[in-house]
Structure 1
Amino acid sequence: MSLSMARLEAETPEPGDVPVEKSAAIVGKSPTQIALGRLRKDKTAVVCIAVLVVVIALAVLAPVITSILDIHERREPGSLNAAEWTDQFGYPVTGPPYYGFDPNHPLGISPKEANDNLARLLYGVRNSLFIGAVVAFSALLIGTTIGLAAGFSRGWLDRILSFVIDLFLAFPFFFFAMALSPIIGNAFSQNDVGLAVASFIGLIIFLIIFSWMSLARLVRGQVISLREREFILAAEVIGVPMRRVLFKELLPNLVAPLVVWFSVAVPTAVALEVALTLLGLGVSGTPTLGLLVQEARGYWDTYPLYLWTPVGAVVVITLALNLLGDSVRDAFDPKTRR
């Protein structure tokens, strides 16, 4: 009897014991891995990602699609002749608004210029997404660098950089755009190609200049709270170089707010491009969503498809990007769930 009890006690694990093979299977997850797991379970995020993947694929493959469909974004050899494909009032002689569906031009052709609307839309989405991505990424680099330097310096450098941030925040955004647009227009008034390139690059630079300040403030605040942590103080005590402290110790702890900010900055830049171009302060000549809306706004009653196609693209892209940004924010910080 005592032998059986001894054997039973030997086979029964203690409450605090964990088998070696099971304990080895327990693997810790980083905050980024946890956030990605939450995103995979978020139906809104999954739908938005699917929509954006389709939109980005169409934008990237715009030259291939237009070549396969034999449609052209500009009037080049082999494309439509405006005099043959528009009537005396400038409206197309095939497809909408006065004729039936034309399979060769699924979205019709534009008035006066006789450009294919589908081709213009594909290139417009491509250029607008390019502007949004370049502006957001450039502002991310500038804002992160200035925020790190300001938050970690503790002295005169912090005061100077904070003053620069406040100074740029004080600039009237639209008034500055209104002053810059005529300068570019007058400089390239005799060169349409030069005006298109200059306005495109000028808009990107302008949006970058006025897009980094909010991130710099965010990073500065995060760094001020992190620089008093034990691991940062220990790194300073043992003489770790400042560059390593900034980019190896502090920066990895800023991944979550940086990802959230970037996910919101892209749709903001796209919306600003549309707004500025619609007001006549943005891109000229190069097809973007803003330029397509600007060109079509005069045809809202006689040729509604010409207007609502780019407007619908703007709504879908900005809505998907903003909802994805909200989902990313909730995934990294569950306390802010809607």
Structure 2
Amino acid sequence: MTVGPGDVNSTLDEVAAAGNEAGSSLRAATGSPGDSGRKKLESRSPVQIAFARLRRDKIAMVCAVIVVLFVLMGIFAPLLAGLEGQSPTATHYDLIGNDNLPSFYTNGQHWLGITSSNGYDVFARFVYGIRPSFLIAISASIVTTVIGVVLGLLAGFLGGWVDRVIGWLTDFSLSLPILLMAIALVPVMSQYLAGSEPSQSQVQQVRIVVLMIVLVFSGWAGTCRLVRGETLALRQREFVQAARALGAPTGRVLFKEVLPNLTSIILVSITLAIPAYIGAEAGLSYLGVGLTLPTADWGLDISLAQDQMQAFPLPLLVPLIGLLIAVLCLSLLGDAISDAFNPNTRR
């Protein structure tokens, strides 16, 4: 049987038509790029993926809103206390021990009552007490993370004697009894740094700085160890080896190649350190080695109000519940961020 050129051409036309029809059906079914309503695939970085996972976490979003409210209350504490018309350091001795007033005395001037020891307004001290707790915790967390990340990078990337020296410092820091050290050092350092005749504001400023120093000294070692272990793994990766082979300086390799890959560790370290430091600062103030009167502080107010718990519980319950909610929300938010940046977890 002889096949002519016309038969071959007609057969090829039929095959092409069938292929076009099949391709159109496949694109209509799968939404391939040839379709007019195709969807563009957008590439996202691991950080963007993590934040997308975090936004879908309802508990994390609720905790984030509560934390923001606490921060706003601390920032606008003068405005909130001004609405009540009270000051956190003003005393009302005329209302203490007045037999004509109930022990739970509250009115339009004192929304949550006053303390029975010195007549401080409870609401004003609550909103002002947010300031030192969050200021010390956030500042100490940032400084701790910076020191831990830098030393961890150097120890993990350089190795040798640098790694050994930083390792010794880390072990020394972790071996110290932090609570006893804080109880011993805070009063001594505060008195030494404040001078012979300091003012009340200078004493409080020095105590805040000393508390930050103690918290930073006790917290940088954990971050350093974590960053060191991750850096040891990253320095063997191909992109780091390529940068070193091209002659990139050590500083550029550390802060341009390795550091961006530690973003998740840095964020998790900060978010988990803040609630721990808030609790630590309140605990030290409760023990009498933190801030002192007349400065408003949650831990200090809890310590002063524990004697009047049976007669009037609000001076104790208000800062205690505020501290509990703040630490709980920050801890849950830190756990959510840790899970969001961990690709092996699903919340």
Q: TM-score, normalised by structure 1?
A: 0.89
| Mapping for residues 1-338 of structure 1, pairs under 5 Å | 3=13, 6-13=16-23, 18-19=32-33, 25-75=40-90, 82-87=92-97, 97-99=103-105, 101-184=106-189, 187=192, 191=198, 193=200, 194-285=202-293, 286-336=295-345
CA distance in 1 between partners of 2:178 and 2:280 (Å):
11
The amino acid that maps onto 1:66 is A
The amino acid that maps onto 2:33 is P
CA distance in 1 between partners of 2:280 and 2:345 (Å):
26
The amino acid that maps onto 1:82 is H
CA displacement at 1:337 relative to structure 2: 5.1
CA displacement at 1:185 relative to structure 2: 6.1
Deviates more, 1:17-26 or 1:163-172: 17-26
User: Over residues 259-316 of structure 1, what are the superposed CA-to-partner deviations in whole Å (9 max), with x where a residue is unaligned?
Assistant: 1111100000001011111112222233221111111122222221110111000100
CA distance in 2 between partners of 1:329 and 1:117 (Å):
36
The answer to whether the 8 Å contact 2:140/2:215 transfers is yes
CA displacement at 1:108 relative to structure 2: 0.9
CA distance in 1 between partners of 2:92 and 2:177 (Å):
42
Q: TM-score, normalised by structure 2?
A: 0.87
User: Over residues 142-192 of structure 1, what are the superposed CA-to-partner deviations in whole Å (9 max), with x where a residue is unaligned?
Assistant: 111100111111211111111111111111111211221341465568656
CA distance in 1 between partners of 2:249 and 2:191 (Å):
50
If you compute each CA radius of gyration, which structure gives the higher value, 1 or 2? 2
CA distance in 2 between partners of 1:259 and 1:117 (Å):
35
Structure 1 spans left out of the alignment, 5+ residues = 76-80
Q: How many residues align?
A: 328
CA distance in 1 between partners of 2:59 and 2:104 (Å):
39
The amino acid that maps onto 1:35 is A
Deviates more, 1:291-300 or 1:194-203: 194-203
The answer to whether the 8 Å contact 1:82/1:112 transfers is no
CA displacement at 1:128 relative to structure 2: 0.5
**Secondary structure class of the residue paired with 1:47:** helix
CA displacement at 1:74 relative to structure 2: 1.5
CA displacement at 1:228 relative to structure 2: 0.5
Identity of aligned pairs, percent? 33
Cα distance change on mapping 1:107 and 1:9 into 2, 3 Å: same
The answer to whether the 8 Å contact 1:135/1:204 transfers is yes
Cα distance change on mapping 1:186 and 1:238 into 2, 3 Å: closer
User: Over residues 79-108 of structure 1, what are the superposed CA-to-partner deviations in whole Å (9 max), with x where a residue is unaligned?
Assistant: xx53323226xx9x75x6344x41221111
Structure 2 spans left out of the alignment, 5+ residues = 1-9
